């Protein structure tokens, strides 16, 4: 399978924005402003056929053909009927790649116009993303074709998770959520109608991208099943892929077709394919984020036995129930020697069993004793530390201690913490240091199960 080179699209040294405008209500204005705000250091050009002066201090030309150098990335933000002609000029100018954010193609039944777009892209061998998409964002190279202003949509920090999304609406929502989560973004690729560059081409590129540790995907339809299987077989042996597939029902499939012209197909068939080739399947947007977080920050477990350490008995019971419901996880038991050691170190009111309830007055020192013990216990493979920051002993010292302990542990550690402002402050503190924090027992346990399932697929157990 021929591999498209998307490097000029994601790491461009020169960008031309076709449709750049002084009007703040125009898409081309927002995209140009985003490049300026992001601090893009490459050569930036504004293209507007009616321009008679520079726009926002950026060199402006009437046509991409007026630019003396070959452009790495042309961002097209003009009415749909003019797009093929603009792409023709991009091809003639030697532009290496293009992103078409404009809508009004096959998603509204205008298939001929979309075919014309593809014809031009193929004619010049110019990988073209879209149409009807948000395009690309790469925090490292400071590119941002999103036509959503930064004051409305927060941009994530640099990280190792790449997000591939067919829907611009879902993409913008999840990006906003990622900016508040404990992991950063490597790349965002919104591909819309997938007229030329599709999910197969994107996964093929990300498979060998050293900056991408985890891939998360929202897809409405897969165009090239055979080629997708070929890529799926390879990429999941190198890095985890979390997928949320829309169009589970007849109504959802119809909505997907009117949204991005996607042929959603049988959800059961897609699910079987994903499971066979080691994809981590998300049921909703929360799963997408929760699974990305644990796969990005935790080592693979050696087994399925989970220890629960808590300062709240009821939350520990709920977490034990969540483990019992899963088919893959089981509640761990202390080895006799570790239990004996804990009995000597912990107060008499603490019952030495899992879930290990350290009591409501537990502080960072008590948690350290417990977590050091489970680290050395060969009967335990994963650790869920529940911290209720409403209790007297739970404070910033405990949050810092958990971060420090995670760095020393030889098994996955995640935190469950439920609460409002004080809890949220400490959640951010822990997650910014790479310690995953969850807000419900179900979310925490499902994430541990997803981590174990992928580890088993990779043969780590």
Res 320 pLDDT > 80: yes
232 within 8 A of 202, measured Cβ to Cβ: no
Interior CA angle at 45 toward 40 and 50, to 5°?
140
Q: What is the pLDDT of residues 409-424, one digit of tens each?
A: 999 999 999 999 999 9
Give the integer Cα–Cα distance in Å for 372 and 307.
Answer: 12
- 3-state secondary structure at position 337: helix
Res 266 pLDDT > 90: no
Average pLDDT over residues 5-21: 97
Interstrand relation of 214-219 and 158-165 (parallel, antiparallel or unpaired): parallel
Average pLDDT over residues 133-148: 95
Instruction: Tell me what the pLDDT averaged over the chain comes to.
Output: 93
Fold of 1-129: Rossmann fold (3.40.50)
Q: What is the pLDDT of residues 182-213, one digit of tens each?
A: 789 999 999 999 999 999 999 999 999 999 99
- What is the per-residue pLDDT for 461? 46
**Burial environment of residue 317 by CB neighbours within 10 A (0 to 12, 13 to 18, 19 or more):** middle
Res 255 pLDDT > 60: no
Which of these, 133, 87, 98, lies nearest to 14 by C-alpha position? 98
- What is the per-residue pLDDT for 250? 54
What is the total residue count of the chain?
Answer: 461
80 within 8 A of 87, measured Cβ to Cβ: no
How many other β-carbons are positioned within 10 Å of the β-carbon of residue 56? 15
Architecture of domain 299-457: 3-Layer(aba) Sandwich (3.40)
Which of these, 150, 206, 162, 157, lies nearest to 188 by C-alpha position? 162
Average pLDDT over residues 313-318: 96
Which of these, 308, 310, 405, 393, lies nearest to 358 by C-alpha position? 310
Confirm whether 153-297 and 299-457 share one CATH topology.
Answer: yes
Fold of 153-297: Rossmann fold (3.40.50)
- 3-state secondary structure at position 214: strand
Average pLDDT over residues 319-333: 97
Torsion of CA 138, 140, 142, 145, to 10 degrees: 0
Eight-class DSSP state of 429: H
Res 256 pLDDT > 60: no
Cα 323 versus chain centre, distance: 25
Res 253 pLDDT > 80: no
Least confident range of 31-35, 214-218, 246-250, 388-392 = 246-250
Res 140 pLDDT > 70: yes
At residue 174 the predicted structure's pLDDT band, cuts being 50, 70 and 90, is very high
Average pLDDT over residues 228-243: 96
What are the domain boundaries of the chain? 1-129, 153-297, 299-457
Nearby residues of 210 by Cβ (< 8 Å), 6 or more positions away: none
At residue 274 the predicted structure's pLDDT band, cuts being 50, 70 and 90, is very high
- What is the per-residue pLDDT for 249? 55
Give start and end residues of each alpha helix (H) in 244-312.
Answer: 250-260, 267-276, 285-297
Percent of the chain with pLDDT over 90: 89
Eight-class DSSP state of 360: T
Cα–Cα distances in angstroms (integers) from residue 363 to residues 136, 243, 347, in the given order:
45, 39, 12
72 within 8 A of 48, measured Cβ to Cβ: no
At residue 251 the predicted structure's pLDDT band, cuts being 50, 70 and 90, is low
Average pLDDT over residues 31-52: 94
Res 94 pLDDT > 70: yes
Q: pTM score, two decimals? A: 0.92
Cα 266 versus chain centre, distance: 25
Res 278 pLDDT > 80: yes
Res 259 pLDDT > 50: no
Q: What is the pLDDT of residues 339-361, one digit of tens each?
A: 999 999 999 999 999 999 999 99
Radius of gyration (Cα) for the chain, nearest Å?
25
């Amino acid at each position: 399978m021929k591999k498209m080179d998307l490097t000029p699209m994601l790491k461009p040294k020169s960008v031309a924005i076709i449709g750049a405008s002084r009007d703040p209500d125009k898409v081309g204005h927002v995209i140009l402003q985003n490049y300026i705000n992001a601090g893009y250091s490459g050569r930036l050009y504004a293209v507007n056929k009616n321009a008679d002066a520079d726009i926002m201090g950026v060199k402006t030309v009437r046509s991409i053909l007026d630019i003396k150098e070959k452009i790495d990335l042309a961002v097209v933000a003009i009415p749909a009927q003019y797009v093929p002609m603009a792409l023709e000029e991009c091809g003639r100018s030697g532009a290496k790649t293009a992103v078409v954010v404009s809508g009004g193609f096959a998603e509204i039944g205008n298939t001929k116009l979309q075919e014309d777009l593809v014809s031009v892209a193929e004619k010049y061998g110019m990988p073209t993303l879209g149409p009807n998409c948000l395009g690309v964002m790469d925090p490292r190279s400071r590119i941002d074709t999103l036509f959503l202003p930064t004051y409305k949509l927060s941009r994530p920090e640099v990280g190792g998770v790449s997000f591939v999304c067919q829907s611009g609406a879902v993409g913008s929502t999840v990006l906003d959520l990622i900016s508040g989560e404990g992991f950063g973004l490597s790349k965002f690729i919104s591909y819309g109608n997938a007229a030329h560059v599709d999910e197969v081409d994107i996964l093929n590129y990300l498979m060998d991208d050293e900056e991408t540790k985890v891939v998360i995907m929202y897809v409405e339809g897969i165009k090239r099943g055979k080629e997708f299987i070929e890529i799926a077989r390879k990429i999941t042996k190198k890095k985890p892929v979390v997928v949320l597939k829309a169009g589970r029902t007849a109504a959802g499939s119809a909505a997907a077709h009117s949204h991005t012209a996607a042929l959603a197909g049988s959800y059961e068939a897609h699910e079987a394919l994903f499971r066979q080739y080691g994809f981590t399947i998300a049921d909703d947007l929360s799963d997408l984020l929760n699974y990305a977080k644990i796969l990005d920050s935790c080592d693979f477990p050696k087994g399925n036995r989970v220890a629960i350490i808590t300062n709240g008995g009821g939350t520990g019971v709920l977490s034990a129930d969540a483990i019992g419901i899963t088919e893959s996880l089981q509640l761990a038991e202390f080895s006799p020697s570790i239990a004996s050691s804990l009995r000597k170190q912990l107060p008499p009111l603490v019952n030495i069993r899992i879930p290990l309830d350290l009591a409501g007055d537990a502080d960072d020192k008590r948690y350290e004793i417990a977590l050091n013990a489970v680290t050395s216990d060969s009967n335990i493979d994963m650790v869920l530390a529940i911290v209720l920051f409403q209790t007297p002993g739970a404070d910033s010292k405990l949050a810092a201690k958990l971060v420090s302990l995670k760095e020393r542990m030889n098994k996955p550690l995640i935190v469950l913490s439920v609460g409002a402002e004080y809890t949220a402050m400490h959640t951010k503190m822990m997650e910014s240091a790479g310690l995953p924090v969850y807000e419900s027992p179900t979310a925490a346990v499902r994430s541990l199960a997803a981590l174990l399932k992928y580890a088993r697929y990779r043969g780590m157990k």
